[in-house]
Structure 1
Amino acid sequence: MESTVRPGMSVREQVTLPNLITVARIGLAVAFGLLLVRSVDGWAIAVLFVAGASDFLDGYLARRLGQTSALGRVLDPAADRLLTAVVILGLAWRDIIPWWLVALLLARDLVMGAALLWWRRRGTATPQVTFLGKSATFALYVFLPLSYLAYGRWDGVHTFAIVAAAISSIAYWGSAVQYLAQLRKSRSAAPLGA
């Protein structure tokens, strides 16, 4: 299906169902954080599940309905990063995951954030989401909540979830390498002086 991303799209054209779902995910990330720090674990897990499902639903609908937009290409990864940050900081604060895993994941997002700002100032387009990036994010959405569910109940499952999340974080860094390669390629393909 042909993309609907066009220069100069109006605000109304960018208010699409996928973008509304993405905005809802931002609200769900905040709700999850509040529930987590208050130890309302059942509701926190339910909210996290809905937030994780929304990440895949908005992308699917954007492609299926031909409602991709410049706003969506910025909003979706921003919502992903916010949700990831709230989850890992909240779980570490509750001593459910180790702080070294938090550092590994946040460092990746800081590197990507700095790279995107640097390239954006030079007129380079936002990189396309990759399969590895979505897969790594999905894996983190599975294993981090699993560590939450298993903590204090099933030590073996909790350990497995931490190890699997660590492996997923390596894939998460691999997706960063792909995005940086896209940015570099996009920049080198731009006309001189652009």
Structure 2
Amino acid sequence: MTDGRIWTIPNLITIFRILLTPGFVIAYLDGNFLTAWGLFMVAGVSDGLDGFLARVMKQRSEFGAMIDPLADKILLVTSFICLSAQDYIPVWLTVLAVSRDLIIVGGLSLLKFYGVEVEKKIFPLWTSKITTALQLLVVFVVLTELAFRLDVDFVHPYLEIATAIFTFISGAIYIRRGMVMFEDEVE
């Protein structure tokens, strides 16, 4: 059950996660990869913590349901752009990941504009959860290499291909679902 509350502990943790992103960018651009890695890890732990607390404390809210995935996307998109700008992640993978998110957000906005109650009709797909996990893993692996001067380049091609496949598939499924919602609304 969700309600209209905004100032819950899980939502405050989510907002904190969003506020970590500028710190991550500053640390990364300053070449302080250990701090960037640490901030990324704190954001990851807080992502799990806010969802857990929302369930346990019965503090699920409509605001939390919207802001939580947004917080994930803000950190992921920012991380992908930073890492691809310095050739740590292929530009094509960043374009694919960012384009998918923009298409989803744009599609949701369009559906909302046409009066579709997307909050009640859309839910995370298992392919989307795998996509997010793979994208997080890509960033984690690269930041771990940079922060601890490790060399695991042999993992990159496999991880990048798996991430690309799931990013494409989940994006295509969301587009298809959006089209069905739009068709249902127009009829």
Which runs of structure 2 are paired with 1:67-146 in the superposition (5 Å)? Answer: 67-124=59-116, 125-126=118-119, 127-146=122-141
Moved more, 161-170 or 88-97: 161-170
- Aligned-partner Cα distance in 2 for 1:166–1:31: 29
Q: Give yes or no for contact 2:2–2:62 (8 Å, CA) kept in 1.
A: no
**Larger RCO, structures 1/2 (Cα 8 Å, 6+ apart):** 2
Query: Quick one: which amino acid aligns to residue 143 of structure 1?
Result: V
Return the offset for 1:180.
3.6
- Aligned-partner Cα distance in 2 for 1:161–1:49: 20
Higher helix share: 2
Distance 1:64 1:32, change over 3 A: same
Return the offset for 1:38.
0.6
- Aligned-partner Cα distance in 2 for 1:134–1:57: 16
- Aligned-partner Cα distance in 2 for 1:186–1:68: 25
Residue number among 28, 38, 46 corresponding to 2:20 in the alignment:
28
Q: Give yes or no for contact 2:134–2:162 (8 Å, CA) kept in 1.
A: no
In the comparison of the two structures, how many residue pairs are matched? 183
Gaps of at least 5 residues in structure 1 are: none
Partner of 1:168: 163
Residue number among 2, 8, 16 corresponding to 1:4 in the alignment:
2
Return the offset for 1:185.
4.8
- Aligned-partner Cα distance in 2 for 1:70–1:23: 14
Give the match's secondary structure for 1:4: coil
Query: Quick one: which amino acid aligns to residue 144 of structure 1?
Result: V
Return the offset for 1:44.
0.6
The 4+ residue runs of structure 1 with deviation greater than 3 A are 151-155, 177-192
Percent identity, aligned pairs only, is: 28
Return the offset for 1:184.
4.4
Return the offset for 1:88.
0.6
Computed over aligned residues only, the root mean square deviation of the Cα atoms, in angstroms, reads: 2.3
TM-score by length of 1: 0.82
1:150 aligns with 2:148: no
Residue number among 10, 13, 17 corresponding to 1:18 in the alignment:
10
Partner of 1:50: 42
Distance 1:144 1:166, change over 3 A: farther
TM-score by length of 2: 0.84
Provide Cα deviations, 1:91-143, integer angstroms capped at 9, x if missing partner: 11222112111111111112112111111112222321233222321222122
